[in-house]
Chain A
Amino acid sequence: MKLLKQLKYSLLKVIDLSGLTFLAPIVRLCYGEEPKVQLQKIGQWILVPIAGVCAFLFLWHITSGSIQTKSGTLPNPVETWQGYNAIDTQAEREGLKKTSYELVGEERDQMLADAEDRLAEVKVQVAETNAAVTAAKEAVDAQTKELIAPLDKEYKELKSQYKAASKARKAVLVTDADSLKAGNVAEYNAYYEKVEESVVKTAQEKEELSILKKKIDKIREIKSPEVAKALLEQTFAAEEAQYLSKQIELLSDRNRAVQVETATGMISTYNEEFLSLTGKAAYDKARSIAKAKERLSKMESSSYAQPATIWYQVKRSIFCVFTGFIIGTAIAVPIGILCGLNSTFMAAMTPFIAIFKPVSPIVWLPIALIIVSGLIPDPDNNPLMLFLWDLPLIGEYKINPAFIASAVTVALCSLWATLANTALGVASIDKDHMNVARVLKLGFFARLFKIVIPSALPLIFAGLRISLGVGWMVLIAAELLSSSEGIGKFVWDQFNNGASDSLAKMMVVVFLVGIIGLILDRIMIVFQRMVTFEGSVSV
């Protein structure tokens, strides 16, 4: 009983610390504490937001259909969800391809058999979907033809009719012109009016025809949902078939173990042949063996060149934002402390802060990119890069100049909030605390580390929280521009890709970026709360 109560208090404490206060009423309700009040709170802080989300989804769903874009209508929630599934499936398949490449022995045989079975199934599906697409298209075509036929007929009739009429008018007018008497202004004017009338009439007839034509075209353009659905299924099946054949390849001929085996076999054959050769032929064979051995050693340590998946990009973006954030913090906190401690230093820094603060990431990035690429002209042979690539954990993210430039841009754009808050926090230290420090005759460093920094920490962390939020926003743009592998690049690739589901995938990124930003913010809130003490200055 006591333990249960303890659990309740720890739960409530964790909830309070993490700022997820909307969960508190649920915990309290579970313990039967004032059910009426808790239910009311749940209604206000959980049900109302859920209703809000539902309303948003509903509005999105009904309006998206009427927003025409370059690549079809705006994706609705369902299509966006499908886009997410497509991204996720692709990531999963890339992972499986990598395993396939590295698999050996029985496991490989098993997987190969499975893949082949599945491919057989999928091939049937492909054929079925192809047929379905053709059928759907035919059905729609027939329907369209039926709809168009009367209009088309009308159009053709009118066209020939108008053509004949125009021709007749022209012939009459030409003959009329023969009887004109030179110098008779009135007669000439009357004739001109007739011609003008005829020209206007012809234009009117043309207009009528083009309206009719547009009507026909519009019917042709109507996209049938059945066809779209069939096409989607076809794409699904075709993609899976393509993936499976690729996987089978990676499990058989292109599998690392298989390739190594083949190469080893070849070398031993060469060796046998070599022993019976003389002259130039012997030299050539020996050379071939040496080359084959070199290839073999490379092959043994090779890994599957996996294209970046969305989850890798997400991880790399988070890594990049923290790199930039740490660089920014390392600059902002010391300078902020100096600014807060010394008004002369503050006066010296103010112009720089005022001028650099409003500069957009779009300006910093190219500058950073040029400087970093200048410092690291050949990343593949740069000792620093090679060192970073060999490090555990962060090695897999392949830090390159684009990554560094993005991180530096994040740092340059995000450090201002931390700087300003640190300076404010240091400058607004309780005067009593400083008096205590004076009475105790604390030295500069004792004063700095025992009094100044601890009392400024809550404000510093408030600044860090803003900085991380700004940094995350800036990073996506920086990655997009610098083509640094990450979420920003994913968006850019989708923008350039122009596939039917590209827009849906970009909408997925909106939510992905938002959710990650929210989590980062929450983490910073927890830190901020941990360093905040009673009576500290807060924002």
Chain B
Amino acid sequence: MSTNSKFVEISNLIKEYPNPYGDPFRVVEDFNLNIKEGEFISLIGHSGCGKSTVLTMLAGLNEISGGGIIVGDREIDGPGPDRSVVFQAPCLMPWMTAYQNVMLGVKNVYPHVDKATQKQIVEHALSVVGLADAMKKYPKELSGGMQQRVGIARAIALQPKVLLLDEPFGRLDSLTRMELQDVIIDILEREKLTAMIVTHDVDEAVFMADRCVMMSNGPRAGLGEILEIDFPRPRNREEIFSDPKFFSYREHLLAFLEQRSHIKGDTRVFSAGETLGFLNKEEIEEIQHQSEAVVA
């Protein structure tokens, strides 16, 4: 199987909000990223830097002010079931059971499929996330983690090209969070989905993704650094968490967030085990200088 190295192509992406007292307020500027088919990208950065903005633009829920996004061979125009989203809140309809919540999308995306197949798709999606026994339950009867599982089932039941996860575990406790991380990893492994996750959690970003994409600080946030994670798949939590490489990746992300996220300009790519830890003042200034020089 030949994988498309530009399955998702984000080029010169800009997001502006109108400012009544001056020039438009530019949140995201010149964001460029190509995602391979079947690749898992984690998007990390400081709060408010525009991570979620990029993701919602990719989902089509947020208008694009400039630049473009191509998914497959098509430029996106508005939301669609080919890019399904798992939101931070589960966003389930409280008046529908888990089954009905998942069925809502399936019915709409596969209107010509017969009822039995629709049912099969829904039941499969729910059993994949481990809710085979809770299909008839209403959201209020489910815990937060289980509700988010329904949200995941709803997203994967659409059989999307790209799965977008917008801080999906942000409101969950760490145990539940780990369980759900495994659920997602399993699904992606099996379905070979392309995915992007927005997260604040450094461990999560390293453990789940093939590439960590670090965004520089807003406003005018862009791509700061890209770190390739070369852990093999399938991934095992214990193995990875005890691997010394894990700690250097982790340190790289933390150091970026701490020291280098303010640097604007060229994107620095670190591939195949290459990492950068905490630096001294001179080294940071040099990087800054280089980045600005490339842009100029």
State whether B87 touches A436 (Cβ < 8 A): yes
B94 & A435 in contact (Cβ 8 Å cutoff): no
In-complex Cβ contact of A433 among B79, B80, B93, B109 (8 A): B93
Q: With a CB–CB cut-off of 8 A, which chain A residues contact B140? A: 533-534
Q: Are B89 and A432 in touch, CB under 8 angstroms?
A: yes
**Majority SS at the chain B contact face:** loop
Q: How far is the CA of A433 from the CA of B79 in the complex (A)?
A: 14
B104 within 8 A of A: yes
Secondary structure of the A side of the interface?
A: helix
Taking the closest CB of chain A, its distance from the CB of B69, in whole angstroms, is: 15
Tell which of A435, A446, A454, A534 touches B61, judged by Cβ atoms closer than 8 Å: A435
8 residue pairs, one from A and one from B, having the closest CB atoms = A533-B94, A440-B105, A432-B91, A438-B79, A454-B95, A534-B140, A439-B79, A436-B91
Confirm or deny: A373 has a beta carbon within 8 angstroms of a beta carbon on chain B.
Answer: no
Instruction: Find chain B residues with CB under 8 A from A455 CB.
Output: 93, 95
Kindly list chain A residues whose C-beta atoms are within 8 Å of the C-beta of B94.
Answer: 533-536
Smallest CB gap from A432: residue in B: B91
Residue of B nearest to A453 (CB): B95
- Is B156 located at the chain interface by the 8 A CB criterion? no
Provide the bound-state CA to CA distance between A52 and B140, in Å: 40
List the B side residues contacting A438 at CB < 8 Å.
60-61, 78-79
Counting CB contacts under 8 A, is B35 at the interface?
no
Q: Taking the nearest CB of chain B, how far is it from the CB of A447, in angstroms?
A: 10
- Of the candidates A440, A442, A534, the one having the most CB atoms from chain B within 10 angstroms of its own CB is A440
Chain A interface size band reads: 20 to 34
A435 touches which of B85, B105, B108 (Cβ 8 Å): B85
Does B85 contact A446, Cβ atoms closer than 8 Å? Answer: no
Given contacts A435-B91, A450-B104, 15 further A-B contacts (CB under 8 A): A432-B89, A432-B91, A436-B154, A438-B60, A439-B60, A439-B61, A439-B84, A440-B81, A440-B105, A441-B79, A441-B80, A441-B109, A450-B96, A534-B139, A536-B94
Cβ contact of A451, chosen from B78, B81, B93, cutoff 8 A: B93
Q: What sequence of 0s and 1s flags, for each residue 179-210 of chain B, a beta carbon within 8 Å of any chain A beta carbon?
A: 00000000000000000000000000000000
Q: Which residues of A contact B154 (CB under 8 A)?
A: 436
Cβ of A105 within 8 Å of any chain B Cβ, yes or no, is: no
8 Å CB interface, B70-126 against A:
78-81, 83-85, 87, 89, 91, 93-96, 104-105, 108-109
Q: Mark B116-152, 1 if CB is under 8 A from A, else 0.
A: 0000000000000000000000011000000000000
B93: A residues at CB distance < 8 A: 433, 436, 450-451, 454-455
Nearest B residue to A442 by beta-carbon distance?
A: B108
A307 interface hit (Cβ, 8 Å):
no
Taking CB atoms, residues of chain B closer than 8 Å to A450 are 93, 96, 104
Contact check, A439 vs B108: say whether CB atoms are below 8 A apart.
no
A32 interfacial by beta-carbon distance below 8 Å: no
Q: Which residue of A lies closest to B164 (CB)?
A: A439
5 of the cross-chain contacts (CB-CB < 8 Å) are A438-B78, A439-B79, A439-B105, A441-B108, A454-B93
Does the CB pair B109–A439 fall under 8 Å?
no
Q: In the docked arrangement, what's the CA distance between A435 and B80, Å?
A: 11
Most A-side CB within 10 Å, residue of B80, B83, B94: B94
Cα(A317)–Cα(B131), bound, Å: 52
Question: Is there an interface contact between B104 and A440, defined as CB atoms closer than 8 Å?
Answer: yes
